[in-house]
Structure formats: structure tokens, C-alpha cells
């Protein structure tokens, strides 16, 4: 993985390159960025640059022995740790290394759910267990085989429980030329004792332009469609790829049906939709539908604030957000987005879909159920 293969983040790349050129490589660093931002490929590209045998001014060479092994994720001094679905207490991450390499090679921007999809683990809890912690300590106690640095990249240290404290001594006083790169999405879920021992590398979500350009140039997506997807994805390339593969027309029709029942407070049909239709979608489609609806609500907010230049929707979707933006206030729309995001978070963690969608629907009814709004609601739906 070379820096040139990673979308955006030019300032972060320059910072990482300078730390190597100035011999200021911190032994423990926390790459903190939201899902789909590219924090994992950035960490891999950084490790590859650190151990490149013929460093270029702005990137690793990509052709030396070290780089070729890094490209295949098989370098003997490159170690990975990640959440996995242990079948027994003694299992460690290396037991799943082939699946990890394949998933990472196919999609370096993957999130936890894309990794989960590699296994039959819909209702299983992933974690980084104590056996994995002990295996890390053992592996890093050896000298480097080929390169100057031994590198451990730990993806999602949020899945370390209290047993992560067993790593503190190693992180604080590692063997010589040992580099810890922790790649996280949620700082609040990481052990504070680990955060305090790492140097933070803050990675922001990708811009609309970054994703839009990638979809057009690398995936051959029509510019109008690319613009729509990039805004709905909200900086998450993993979400953009899921939207690209999904049927957005089906999501639009379902959203229209659902919101009609919400704003008109049609109780029995709303209960049926929440308890029967939504659960039938399956967890991944439930997430995609919520993500699509969140994106549409954000477009409505832009329209309500007169920011038409930032809207890339067309046809019936554009007509919908135009009419919806005329009826509800910014406060209501913002609160609606917040409710949808909380539900999406709960779906990701395998909460009961029937309860989630019924609760969400009833809360939205309370939010949007005003007589003057209900009298106008039918004009939204064509």
C-alpha cells in the first residue's frame, strides 16, 4: 500500500512522511478516523514507507523486496491484530490471517460489518481476547527478521477489554525499533491508559469531492449518480460502495411509504411496517436503508437553508426533498437525523429490529405530528 493509492488526506500523508525523514518516528501512534475514511490504509502505507529500502521523496518505492511483501501483506516484520469471532478461548488473530489478507486486499476501507460479513457471525460478539494480547507480546519480543522496524498494526482497539492493560508495559517501553500503530474509529471506547501512551494522528472523513472523483474515475459512475452517492455517504467510502451496489430506488420507495405513515400517524400500518417489513430486510439492508434516509434528511436540511449548490439529487428525489423542506423546521429535521443515527448505531450492534424500528417510528410521529404539518403532508407525495 503506497500513499499515492490512498484517496485524499494530503496533509496527513505529508506529516507522516516528514516524521520518517526527520527521524521522529513515535513508537506508538493512534490513527483515529471514522469508518471509511482510510485510516487503516494510511497506517499500512506509513509502515511500508518506514521500512522501504529505497524511500522516495513522497512515497515508498513500491518495488524493493520490503515493499513487494508489504503489498501482499506477507512481510515477516508486519503483524496485524484485529477483532475476531473466537470459537475457543485460546484462538488468536493469526488463525484468521488468510481471511484478513483477502478482505483487506479487496477493500482496505472496510468497516467492522464488512469484516463480519467474511464469517457466519451475524449474532456473535467480536473482540481482541487475552490470548491475542499474550500472542502480541510474544511476537514482538523477537528481533526483526528483515527490516529495521517490527510493526504491529492493531485495527479497532475499541474491542480490547480490560485485558488490554496487559499491553501497557510493552507500549510504553517496547523493544528497540518496534512500532505500534493503533487504528481506531471511536476514541471514547478505547482504554484511557492506552490513549495516554500513544501519539494521536487525527484523520478526518473524506470530502465529497474525494469520493465523487473516486467513483467517477475508478468505478465509472455517471457524474450525477456519483454526486448523489458521495453526499449520501457523508465521507464514508465503505458506505459509498454499499450505496453503489444497492437499489436506491427501492430505498426511496420504502422511505416514502414509511414517512407517509409517520406524518399522517397511521398507527396500524406503521406497526406492521415496523414489525414485519423492516425486519425482513436483514441487518445489512436495514443499515443501508437508514443510511440512505439519513442522507436524504441531510439533503432536505441543505435545501431548507438555501444551499442548492450542494444538492446533487435529481428527478423524484429532488422533488421530494424540495417539498419536504417547505413543511418542517430545521430543528425537527436535525432531531430526525439524530434519531436515525442512533437507530443505525443500534442496528450495527445487533439490537432487535422490531423494537428499534417501532420505537424510531413512534418517536418520529411525535416529532412530526403537528396539525398544520399533517394538513400539508399529502402534498409531499406524488
Between 126 and 11, where is the model more confident? Answer: 11
Clarify whether residues 306 and 175 are in a common domain: no
Average pLDDT of the chain is 87
Clarify whether residues 9 and 119 are in a common domain: yes
Whether 340 is in a domain gets the answer yes
**For the chain, percent of residues with pLDDT exceeding 90:** 45
Q: What would the grid cell of residue 49 be?
A: 514507507
Q: What pLDDT does residue 232 have? A: 77
Kindly state the greatest CA–CA separation across the chain. Answer: 73
Clarify whether residues 189 and 278 are in a common domain: no
| Residues 41-50: tens digit of each pLDDT | 999 999 999 9
In 3-state terms, what secondary structure has residue 70? helix
Q: What pLDDT does residue 204 have? A: 95
The verdict on pTM exceeding 0.85 is no
What is the dihedral sign for C-alpha 60, 153, 21, 9? positive
**Do the Cβ atoms of 3 and 59 come closer than 8 Å?**
yes
What is the dihedral sign for C-alpha 297, 301, 303, 308? negative
Clarify whether residues 182 and 293 are in a common domain: no
Count of residues in the chain:
382
Q: What pLDDT does residue 96 have? A: 93
Whether 286 is in a domain gets the answer yes
**Do the Cβ atoms of 168 and 194 come closer than 8 Å?**
yes
Whether 79 is in a domain gets the answer yes
The yes-or-no verdict on residue 143 having pLDDT over 50 is: yes
What H or E segment, with its residue span, contains residue 348? helix 330-348
Angstrom distance (rounded) from CA 363 to CA 368? 9
Between 357 and 164, where is the model more confident? Answer: 357
Average pLDDT over residues 269-275: 89
- Tell me the range of 25-39, 187-201, 288-302 where mean pLDDT is highest: 25-39
Average pLDDT over residues 271-300: 87
Terminal CA-CA length for the chain: 49
Whether 309 is in a domain gets the answer yes
Phi, psi of 128 (to 5 degrees): -110, 105
Angstrom distance (rounded) from CA 82 to CA 153? 8
**For the chain, percent of residues with pLDDT exceeding 70:** 95
Clarify whether residues 166 and 260 are in a common domain: no
The yes-or-no verdict on residue 314 having pLDDT over 90 is: no
| Residues 71-110: tens digit of each pLDDT | 999 999 999 999 998 888 889 999 999 999 999 999 999 9
Between 174 and 206, where is the model more confident? Answer: 206
Q: What is the CATH number of the domain that holds 285?
A: 1.20.272
**Do the Cβ atoms of 34 and 111 come closer than 8 Å?**
no
The yes-or-no verdict on residue 31 having pLDDT over 90 is: yes
Sequence-distant (6+) residues with CB within 8 A of 375 are: none
Task: Tell me whether residue 196 is exposed, middle or buried, using C-beta atoms within 10 angstroms of its C-beta: 0 to 12, 13 to 18, 19 or more.
Answer: exposed
| Residues 114-129: tens digit of each pLDDT | 888 888 655 567 889 8
Q: Which of 202, 230, 258 is the last residue of a domain?
A: 202
Angstrom distance (rounded) from CA 339 to CA 219? 32
Whether 261 is in a domain gets the answer yes
Using left for φ > 0, alpha for ψ between -120 and 50, and beta otherwise, residue 38 falls in left
The yes-or-no verdict on residue 315 having pLDDT over 80 is: no
Q: What is the CATH number of the domain that holds 170?
A: 3.40.50.300
Beta bridge partners of 182: 30, 154
Clarify whether residues 87 and 146 are in a common domain: yes
Q: Which of 202, 231, 265 is the last residue of a domain?
A: 202
Clarify whether residues 160 and 307 are in a common domain: no
The yes-or-no verdict on residue 257 having pLDDT over 80 is: yes
Clarify whether residues 37 and 183 are in a common domain: yes
Angstrom distance (rounded) from CA 194 to CA 197? 5
Q: Which of 138, 167, 202 is the last residue of a domain?
A: 202
Alpha carbons within 13 angstroms on the beta-carbon side of residue 382 total 11
Clarify whether residues 36 and 118 are in a common domain: yes
Query: How many separate domains does the chain show?
Result: 2
Whether 276 is in a domain gets the answer yes
Using left for φ > 0, alpha for ψ between -120 and 50, and beta otherwise, residue 23 falls in left
Whether 76 is in a domain gets the answer yes
| Residues 297-311: tens digit of each pLDDT | 888 888 888 888 777
Clarify whether residues 34 and 116 are in a common domain: yes
Alpha carbon distances (Å) from 138 to 87, 135, 193, 352: 22, 5, 21, 40
Whether 232 is in a domain gets the answer no
Q: What pLDDT does residue 322 have? A: 86
Clarify whether residues 255 and 192 are in a common domain: no
- Structural domain for 303, as ranges: 246-380
Clarify whether residues 198 and 268 are in a common domain: no
Angstrom distance (rounded) from CA 281 to CA 271? 16
Q: What pLDDT does residue 215 have? A: 92
Amino acid at each position: 500500500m503506497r500513499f499515492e493509492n490512498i484517496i485524499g488526506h494530503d496533509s496527513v500523508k505529508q506529516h507522516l512522511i516528514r516524521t520518517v525523514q526527520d527521524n521522529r518516528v513515535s513508537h506508538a501512534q493512534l490513527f483515529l478516523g471514522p469508518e471509511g475514511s482510510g485510516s487503516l490504509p494510511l497506517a499500512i502505507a506509513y509502515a511500508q514507507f518506514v521500512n522501504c529500502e529505497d524511500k522516495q521523496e513522497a512515497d515508498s518505492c513500491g518495488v524493493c523486496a520490503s515493499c513487494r511483501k508489504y503489498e501482499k501483506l506477507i512481510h515477516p516484520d508486519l503483524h496485524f491484530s484485529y477483532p475476531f469471532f473466537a470459537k475457543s478461548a485460546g484462538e488468536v488473530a493469526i488463525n484468521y490471517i488468510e481471511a484478513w489478507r483477502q478482505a483487506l486486499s479487496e477493500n482496505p476501507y472496510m468497516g467492522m460489518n464488512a469484516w463480519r460479513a467474511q464469517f457466519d457471525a451475524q449474532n456473535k460478539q467480536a473482540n481482541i481476547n487475552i490470548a491475542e494480547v499474550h500472542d502480541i507480546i510474544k511476537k514482538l519480543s523477537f528481533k526483526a527478521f528483515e527490516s529495521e522496524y517490527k510493526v504491529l498494526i492493531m485495527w479497532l482497539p475499541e474491542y480490547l477489554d480490560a485485558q488490554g492493560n496487559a499491553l501497557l508495559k510493552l507500549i510504553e517501553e517496547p523493544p528497540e525499533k518496534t512500532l505500534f500503530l493503533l487504528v481506531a474509529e471511536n476514541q471514547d471506547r478505547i482504554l484511557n491508559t492506552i490513549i495516554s501512551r500513544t501519539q494521536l494522528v487525527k484523520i478526518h472523513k473524506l470530502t465529497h469531492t474525494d469520493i465523487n472523483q473516486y467513483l467517477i474515475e475508478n468505478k465509472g459512475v455517471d457524474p450525477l449518480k456519483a454526486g448523489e452517492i458521495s453526499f449520501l455517504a457523508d465521507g464514508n467510502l465503505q458506505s459509498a460502495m454499499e450505496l453503489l451496489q444497492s437499489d436506491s430506488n427501492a430505498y426511496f420507495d420504502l422511505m416514502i411509504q414509511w414517512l407517509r405513515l409517520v406524518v399522517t400517524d397511521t398507527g396500524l400500518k406503521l406497526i406492521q411496517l415496523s414489525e414485519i417489513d423492516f425486519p425482513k430486510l436483514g441487518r445489512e439492508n436495514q443499515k443501508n436503508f437508514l443510511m440512505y434516509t439519513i442522507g436524504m434528511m441531510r439533503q432536505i436540511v441543505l435545501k431548507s437553508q438555501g444551499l442548492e449548490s450542494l444538492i446533487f439529487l435529481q428527478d423524484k428525489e429532488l422533488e421530494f426533498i424540495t417539498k419536504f423542506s417547505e413543511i418542517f423546521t430545521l430543528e425537527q429535521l436535525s432531531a430526525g437525523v439524530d434519531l436515525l443515527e442512533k437507530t443505525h448505531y443500534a442496528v450495527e450492534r445487533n439490537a432487535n429490529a422490531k423494537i428499534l424500528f417501532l420505537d424510531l417510528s413512534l418517536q418520529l410521529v411525535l416529532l412530526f405530528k403537528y396539525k398544520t404539518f399533517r394538513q400539508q403532508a399529502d402534498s409531499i407525495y406524488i
